[in-house]
């Protein structure tokens, strides 16, 4: 929601924009690669007697009985227990399974790899895979499919996307959330058109380094699927799957953990010592599985298996093609038979931590310590204006967010952010006049309380006077972000006066910078080809007719606010 910083006379309020934001300014996921933002562990030495918060036992472990509650020391095991020693047999089983399921979910971007495609055709495939991978971040497949189809109809090539405006991109993205993904797609396409002849780089290293918004996971997925490059992927599904296959119970975001998992993923996709090779460098055959083995198929199979079989809860172990080699599964069915073996201390694993009994497949990966989402209250002002003589000409004030950063270029309603939970009704009613004083001409003279027209008179000259005719409470809207539990306390504010809506002040803005906020480190400048809105002069505030509000580019939280507000006049009980 749009907002401005509260004046010093209101010390209890904070007007800085905090929706889905962190100290770095934008907490949206840039890539699914667990990638490299994690700080490395200060020491690899861990004791098996460290006590952690007791996680909840999972239903999938209920078949194991007579195991004492509490933590079980992980039996001493070598480092090699967390590596894949015979990847060929796992690949064969995995790809045989994948061949039977790859079309079940009807994903339009998933097609067989064709080694005979030319450079332009592979580049087009890379574009299609790129769009799907970015859309799939934090979004379910069933939700993405219609968005992907609409996107490819509107922007069938990377040149079409590069020539679009941020308004067009956001309009197609509306409802998917995490809007920075859309803006990064636009900027990335522009970079590809300008620097790479409208093609994404054909190797993961250059793609990750030079295309905005593409991290290690996305680069690996795109380049393996479209270009046949043998590079690994590690998203949440593969992270969970490999943690169970390797029985790795260590802090999931620690550098040492991620290094092991990336190595295992790379082992799966890089085939060595294969006696049967095709003439194509990307077509690899296993002696026991004569169907060509392509890196993209291996990576997609790992992702599909983690997503549909090796699920977070209630994994389908009987239907898993990797069950014979899954150490996590073996541990779950032979807990009482395990015994420590003599291991050279130099070869002993030092990163695994105690497991909560009973031990099951869902004991892996180790649960991350999650911070409780903080709770915040915002007062949102749905501000309407209509002339006294024509109350059916209803216009609503909407604020355009800056063209970069969180929710770039989207519209929302003015809001007072992160106010005290015990805020009074009187304080809430005083907020709209302050906001309007910074936005519209005549706003500085508005009373803080609603006035009726009788107080100022009904003569033609008096009806030109702008007044707040009504402030009516609407209700609360709950909107949950990854780390913030937002409550929007909505109020409907009605302005009257004049024959046209109040004109906006020059250089108006509700997005003042936080004075104590450290500036971001400047990145190498990226010249945008056409990141411009379709509205004239990039106005920061506009009046939107009632029937056009839902057509405006806005986030799902704003849609919730609008839907609950319009019930006031659509309900037959409205007074």
The residues assigned a catalytic role are 133
Give the DSSP letter of residue 85. S
d(CA 48, CA 572) in angstroms, rounded, equals: 66
Helix (H, G, I), strand (E, B) or coil at 3: coil
Provide CB contacts within 8 A for 324, sequence distance 6+. Answer: 93
Q: Report strand pairing: 484-496 vs 374-386.
A: parallel
Helix or strand (DSSP H, E) at 478? strand 467-480
Q: Report strand pairing: 541-545 vs 70-72.
A: unpaired
Q: Nearest-CA neighbor of 80 among 264, 338, 268, 302?
A: 264
Within a 10 A sphere around the Cβ of 509, how many other Cβ atoms?
14
The answer to whether 541 and 397 are in contact (CB under 8 A) is yes
The answer to whether 146 and 137 are in contact (CB under 8 A) is no
d(CA 52, CA 58) in angstroms, rounded, equals: 17
Phi, psi of 182 (to 5 degrees): -65, -45
Helix (H, G, I), strand (E, B) or coil at 439: coil
The answer to whether 314 and 63 are in contact (CB under 8 A) is no
d(CA 461, CA 458) in angstroms, rounded, equals: 8
- Helix, strand, coil in percent for the chain, rounding step 5: 35, 15, 50
d(CA 204, CA 224) in angstroms, rounded, equals: 8
Strand residue runs (E) in 158-228: none
Helix (H, G, I), strand (E, B) or coil at 536: helix
Please spell the DSSP secondary structure of 507-557, one letter per residue: T--S-PPPTTPPPPPPPPP---SS---SSGGG-SEEEEEGGGGGGS-B-HH
Find the DSSP H helices in 102-215. 119-136, 141-154, 158-162, 166-173, 180-195, 204-210
Give the DSSP letter of residue 2. B
Cα separations (Å) of 550 from 28, 411, 559, 566, 571?
24, 11, 7, 11, 18
The answer to whether 288 and 92 are in contact (CB under 8 A) is yes
Please spell the DSSP secondary structure of 261-328, one letter per residue: HHHHHHHHH---S-S-B-SSTT-EEETTEEEEE-HHHHHHHHHHHHHHTS-SSS--GGG-TTGGG-HH
User: Token pair for residue 34?
Assistant: 């667990």
The answer to whether 530 and 162 are in contact (CB under 8 A) is yes
Find where tokens 């990141």 sit: 531
Q: Report residue 457 CA to chain centroid gap.
A: 53
Q: At what angle do helices 119-136 and 180-195 cross, to 10 degrees?
A: 160
Give the chain's end-to-end CA distance (angstroms, integer): 27
């Amino acid at each position: 929601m749009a907002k401005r910083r509260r004046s010093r006379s209101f010390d209890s309020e904070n007007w800085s924009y905090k929706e889905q934001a962190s100290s770095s300014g934008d907490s949206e996921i840039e890539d699914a690669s667990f990638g490299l933002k994690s700080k490395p562990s200060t020491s690899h030495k861990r004791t098996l007697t460290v006590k952690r918060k007791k996680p909840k036992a999972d239903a999938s472990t209920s078949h194991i009985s007579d195991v004492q509650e509490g933590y079980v020391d992980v039996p001493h095991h070598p480092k090699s227990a967390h590596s894949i020693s015979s990847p060929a047999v796992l690949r064969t089983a995995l790809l045989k399974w994948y061949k039977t399921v790859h079309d079940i979910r009807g994903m339009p971007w998933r097609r067989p790899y064709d080694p005979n495609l030319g450079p332009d055709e592979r580049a087009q495939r890379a574009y299609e895979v790129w769009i799907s991978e970015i859309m799939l971040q934090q979004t379910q497949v069933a939700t993405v499919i219609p968005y992907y189809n609409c996107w490819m109809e509107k922007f069938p090539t990377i040149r079409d996307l590069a020539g679009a405006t941020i308004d067009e991109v956001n309009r197609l993205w509306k409802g998917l959330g995490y809007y920075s993904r859309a803006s990064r797609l636009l900027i990335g396409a522009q970079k590809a058109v300008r620097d790479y002849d409208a093609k994404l780089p054909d190797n993961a290293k250059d793609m990750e380094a030079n295309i905005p918004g593409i991290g290690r996971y996305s680069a690996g997925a795109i380049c393996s699927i479209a270009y046949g490059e043998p590079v690994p992927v590690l998203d949440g599904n593969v992270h969970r799957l490999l943690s169970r296959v390797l029985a790795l119970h260590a802090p999931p975001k620690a550098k040492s953990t991620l290094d092991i998992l990336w190595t295992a993923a790379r082992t799966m996709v890089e085939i060595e010592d294969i006696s049967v090779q095709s003439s194509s460098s990307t077509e690899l055959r296993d002696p026991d599985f004569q169907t060509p083995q392509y890196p993209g198929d291996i990576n997609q199979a790992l992702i599909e298996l983690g997503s549909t079989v090796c699920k977070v809860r209630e994994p389908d172990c009987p239907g898993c093609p990797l069950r014979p080699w899954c150490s996590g599964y073996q541990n779950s069915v032979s807990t009482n038979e395990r015994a420590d073996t003599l291991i050279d201390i130099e070869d002993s694993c030092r990163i695994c931590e105690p497991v909560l009994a009973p031990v099951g497949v869902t004991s892996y990966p180790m649960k991350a310590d999650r911070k409780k989402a903080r709770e915040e209250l915002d007062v949102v002002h749905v501000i309407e204006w209509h002339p006294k003589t024509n109350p059916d000409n209803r216009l609503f004030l909407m604020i355009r967010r800056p063209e970069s950063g969180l929710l770039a270029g989207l519209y929302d309603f003015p809001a007072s952010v992160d106010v005290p939970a015990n805020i009074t009704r009187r304080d809430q009613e005083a907020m709209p006049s302050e906001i309007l004083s910074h936005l519209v001409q005549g706003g500085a003279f508005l009373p803080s309380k609603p006035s009726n027209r009788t107080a100022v008179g009904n003569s033609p000259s008096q009806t030109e006077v702008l007044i707040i005719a009504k402030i009516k409470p609407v209700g609360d809207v709950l909107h949950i972000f990854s780390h913030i539990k937002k409550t929007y306390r909505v109020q409907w504010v009605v302005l009257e006066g004049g024959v046209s809506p109040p004109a906006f002040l020059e250089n108006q803005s509700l997005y003042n910078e936080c004075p104590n906020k450290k500036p971001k480190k400047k990145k190498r400048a990226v010249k945008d080809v056409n990141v411009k809105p379709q509205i004239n002069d990039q106005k920061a505030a506009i009046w939107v007719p009632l029937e056009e509000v839902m057509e405006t580019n806005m986030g799902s939280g704003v849609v919730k606010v609008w839907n609950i507000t319009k019930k006031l006049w659509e309900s037959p009980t409205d007074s």
